[in-house]
Structure 1
Amino acid sequence: MRDEELDTFRGFAIIWVLFIHCIYWNGLFTSTGATIAKSYLLFEMPLLFMITGASNSLSQKKYNLADHIVRRVSRIVIPYWVYAFICVFLIQITITFLQYPGSINYTSWFLTFGVKSDLWTNIPYLTSHLWFVPVFLIVIFIIPLLSYLHKRLVSFNKYIPLVVLFLLIPFLDYFMFGNAMTYYYVKNVIFYSFWIYLGFFYEQFKISPPKKRYLILVSVLAYVFLWLAISNTTRYNVDMQLNKFPPNLAFLLMNIGNISLFLLLKKYIADIIRMLNLKGLFIRLGQNSYTVYLHQTFAFLAGAMILSVLNISLFDYDFIGVLYYLAVNIIFALLFIKMFGWVEKYKFESFGFLSRNKNKSLNG
């Protein structure tokens, strides 16, 4: 049985993703102060990964390691392939019928799973968010190990992997290795594994919630250390967007501060959602968050085309622009769920691939 609170907050997180992309992808709020300020809203992906960890920790189903990997990977790769097919189809139309220059590398689109540098497109938006796919695919292989450690360690020892993952980020800030691509993915995987592992504490925190003063203290300390890091070295930038790819200590501290505030306010956020009678919408978006995430680019394209046909520009109206694109995205998200949501939920055991070794669980 799904946890409605998790689905609600996953819906909140995916709407926050759309909100962030409304700002960044459309060049809104670009003054120096606004550029810096909006970068401190970039906590959407850590929140999604933390919720993924929480959902994983609540799962009552038991699969062996191979089954776990096949199920998880297929639920990432197959929806991506559907998205990639649509993208390639649209790009080919622009080349064949609209005479746009260029050629498609089909192997890159379908076998690199969104490594942005390998994906050529002449249509805006299509690859802007695909950095997430290969990172999540790699994290999928690490989740069983993280889950094993969380279940086997007791008392305060459960926090040791969290501390190790935290310390690896500043360590790698100062000690680069390998080529740039390897370094990029290693840092991303470590960073988002931190949030996956933090999510494993969801059930524990649900029974015994962290005291508000502790959450406030963690948030304040995170921002104090963030200020010290930015002030005392040129390695970190005051603009968090410049600390994100790959994530460094400054980006980690900012997100620890923001996620602590989110946990502090989550009850009030849930109450507002219920009061506005939007819980059903948030749950629906949350249960289909990967579909919404992948196909959001088509909503942005549609929104831009509508404005172009009407000869309207929103570049000078930042707040209206955000509201417009967010409304378009939510409307299209419901359409995408109708069209493609089933792909995200398709179970591979229908083919009998997972019929063996059902009694061998990840729990040992």
Structure 2
Amino acid sequence: MERIALKMRNPRIDAARGMLMVYIITVVHGFFFLNVYAGPGATLILFEMPCIFFISGYAYALSLQGGLRMETKRDYWNYLKTRAARILIPYWVYAAVCLGLIFLKGNPTLTGSAAATTATLLAWLNPVEYGSGHSVSMLNYHLWFVAPFLGVTFLLPLLVKAVNRVKLPIPLLIVAGGVLILGGEWLPAGNLPSSVLTYATWAVLGYVVGSGRFGPMLSRPQLLALGAAAVMLLLGAWSLSWATLDMQANKFPPNTAFFLFGIAWFSLLWSATSCVTDSAVARLNAMRWFRPFVNKGYSIYMWQGLAYSLAFNMGQQFHLPVLPVWLAAMVLAMALGIAASPAERLGQGRLAGNFAR
């Protein structure tokens, strides 16, 4: 079993996953939760989610190479059960703690009657609602991610089978993904359908690159040319008033402009990775402070809402400037996430058994 697990690991993907978690928890949510910077261009840092889902797809390709079976309906059902446990149990543990805090606070709007209490409970237990309209402070600001993550995870094996039959080269798959997302702008109102479609596209692209079955990855000049083309298309759409450059607006729900924005950033970041040596990656992955962001990143992500809420309230009480509040939020997110990380491992034994069959 250890041998299979090791085959599934890629040091560069581990480092990228960890760096993205650090970036999301410190920079992105520091900017937007604490208003560290809210000036012009602040939303141009929101490239993290396309990269996260690309890495999810790449990791799925590594899982298949490492022994994950996805040949029968039973294999798929086992995968669904295990992944659902891995995603939902940590969410429900976090939701239970947040509900406890809400009840302790005794907000009359949320818990003042049996009907209000029931509505609050149901809103938090349902990851599609993620406590929306039934929360306090920043407890649920980041939880919109859980439902799209679950949806993409469930769809990915089916999409991979379809893509394996077609086997388009990578540039054509990128174009096809853009066309799908453009069509997705006519999906029913709401963030979830568009989010699942957009991020599933990124996950499939990650699988395609990770599997190595669709030809070589684009060269650095090709990637930079692709990124430049995406920027020009985005600026052209903006100049014609077809799109906004406010990426927060483009992200919720994700649209074609956000896809072009993601392509531009991804092309730049992937090109830059060739400049990073294997020894530098190994040193980063070996750092004690960094390893939890690789191995327990989902839990740290989950608990950052409480961490930011506690730090913000502390800052208000003691009239602290934003920097110590920001640092406190980072430390609390890491500590709470590590403490709660055993919930992330529940159900993994069954998945390991599925690998071994």
What is the aligned counterpart of 1:78 among 84, 89, 112?
A: 89
| Structure 1 residue 355: Cα displacement | 7.1
Letter in 2 for 1:85: A
Aligned length: 333
Matches within 5 A, 1:94-173: 94-95=105-106, 101-103=109-111, 104=117, 105-110=120-125, 112-116=126-130, 118-121=132-135, 123-154=136-167, 156=169, 162-173=174-185
In structure 2, the partner of 1:300 is 308
In structure 2, the partner of 1:43 is 47
Letter in 1 for 2:336: F
8 Å CA contact 2:124, 2:130 repeated in 1: no
Matches within 5 A, 1:262-273: 262-268=269-275
Q: Which runs of 4+ in 1 moved over 4 A?
A: 116-119, 158-162, 267-280, 353-359
Report the CA distance shift for 1:172/1:52 in structure 2 as closer, same or farther (over 3 A).
closer
Q: Deviations over 1:325-356 (max 9, x none)?
A: 55334422432243111111222546xx9979
In structure 1, the partner of 2:61 is 57
| Structure 1 residue 208: Cα displacement | 5.0
| Structure 1 residue 358: Cα displacement | 7.8
Q: Deviations over 1:229-266 (max 9, x none)?
A: 11113x42121111111111111101100011110112
Structure 2: where are the runs of 5+ without partners? Answer: 1-5, 112-116
In structure 2, the partner of 1:340 is 340
Separation (CA, whole Å) in 1 of partners of 2:289 and 2:162:
35
Q: Equivalent pairs: percent with the same residue?
A: 24
Structure 1: where are the runs of 5+ without partners? Answer: 315-320, 360-364
DSSP 3-state at the match of 2:244: coil
Letter in 2 for 1:265: A
| Structure 1 residue 4: Cα displacement | 2.3
- Does residue 3 (structure 1) correspond to residue 17 (structure 2)? The answer is no
- Does residue 228 (structure 1) correspond to residue 223 (structure 2)? The answer is no
TM-score, with normalisation over the residues of structure 1?
0.82
In structure 2, the partner of 1:318 is none
TM-score, with normalisation over the residues of structure 2?
0.83
Q: Structure 1 residues 294-303 or 218-227, which shifts more?
A: 294-303
Letter in 1 for 2:338: K
In structure 2, the partner of 1:211 is 219
Separation (CA, whole Å) in 1 of partners of 2:284 and 2:148:
35
Q: Deviations over 1:194-237 (max 9, x none)?
A: 110111113539x955321111111111100010111113x421
What is the aligned counterpart of 1:185 among 170, 174, 192?
A: 192
Separation (CA, whole Å) in 1 of partners of 2:110 and 2:168:
58
Report the CA distance shift for 1:52/1:311 in structure 2 as closer, same or farther (over 3 A).
same
Q: Deviations over 1:41-89 (max 9, x none)?
A: 1011111111111111001222511011111111111111001000000
